Amino acid sequence: METNNTHAAPAPPGIFTTLIAGFDAITKHIALILFPVGLDLIIWLAPHLRLKSLIEAWMASVLPSVSDLPEFAEMAETAQTLYTLMAERFNLLITLRSYPVGIPSLIASNLPLEIPVGEPTLVDVSSLGLAFLLAGLFTLAGLIVGALYFSMVGKAAIYDEVRPMKALMQWPRTGGQVILLAFVWLGLLIGISIPVSCGISLFALVGLPIGPLAVLVFGSLLLWIAFPLLFSPHGIFINQNAAWASIRRSLQITRMTLPNTATFFLAVMLLSQGLDMLWRIPPEDSWLTLIGVLGHAFVATGLLSASFIYYNQADQWLKSLEKKS
């Protein structure tokens, strides 16, 4: 009995205690919510960079020929509705909200067309090359500033301190690893998209309904591949790992703590998406939306803090198992 107790492994991290600890850490370092608040204000109030002429030109050249084919008629009609909405609301500034490391944003998912001080300044980007250049630059800026945000939130969560100068000193290294990690995620996304697109085209040619099926297949594959990688940024900031080492550690942690980790991310998703419905209640042209922006910034930063605490505890738990094996 004594030998069994000696070799007993500690319990994996608790979900609710981790969530509470994450919000407690951000309450002590509330200034960290200025990152998401600032991003939301930029996307909401700065001039909106639209792609209206490019989207309308694409619709005029492609959709009529596609809609003439009976097997693609329904898809063409749905695409026309979607792209018409995008032409009106899409703002290129939302690419500042980068993945997998970036600053969370409420406004990026809303795509508001109105602002409290009247009509926003609308700038139409009519060059495809310029649109790609701006999107790339904005994404790069989002990754770099997002690396600083993640670093400071991680320090607040694990060490209960925010040292901007230390975060700035580590910034070049962490920023480079974050950019490498983003390319890995992009490669996986492209790797999923190509076979799914081929499958969708095949189903359409044989006359099968493809709308709900496409969403289900693509979403399932994306979730199946992305789930073990959700912790891939955390090792870069907590353990100063390289991108590949952080990916491997994320795979190990999710495999060894699968039920706990799945429940943790489900709780995070329910809290985030459920409260986002509340933050979106005020109309987009009302200053009351600022309440939603502040609420979203606090919740998103608190959940990110909790994820760092969960990762750190799971990592320590896994290390204790590795030592005893």
Looking at residue 128, the DSSP 8-state letter turns out to be H
CB 51 within 8 A of CB 59: no
Query: Among residues 84, 88, 91, which one has the least CA distance to residue 44?
Result: 91
pLDDT of residue 3: 42
- At 171-230, the pLDDT tens digits run 888 999 999 999 998 888 787 777 666 666 665 555 555 555 555 666 666 777 788 889
pLDDT of residue 67: 55
| DSSP string over 55-112 | HHHHHHHHHHHHHTSGGGHHHHHHHHHHHHHHHHH--GGGGGS-SSS----SHHHH--
Backbone angles phi, psi at 124, to 5 degrees: -90, 120
CB 156 within 8 A of CB 25: yes
Among 77-91, 100-114, 133-147, 154-168, the range scoring the smallest mean pLDDT is: 77-91
| DSSP string over 259-300 | HHHHHHHHHHHHHHHHHHHHHT-S-TTSTTHHHHHHHHHHHH
- At 153-187, the pLDDT tens digits run 999 999 998 888 888 888 888 999 999 999 998 88
CB 249 within 8 A of CB 241: yes
Q: Look at the chain and count its residues.
A: 325
- At 7-66, the pLDDT tens digits run 445 567 889 999 999 999 999 999 999 999 999 999 999 999 998 888 888 777 766 655
3-state secondary structure of 14: coil
- Token pair of 93, please? 């500034």
- Token pair of 309, please? 């605490």
Which helix (H) or strand (E) element contains residue 19?
Answer: helix 15-28
pTM of the full predicted structure?
A: 0.86
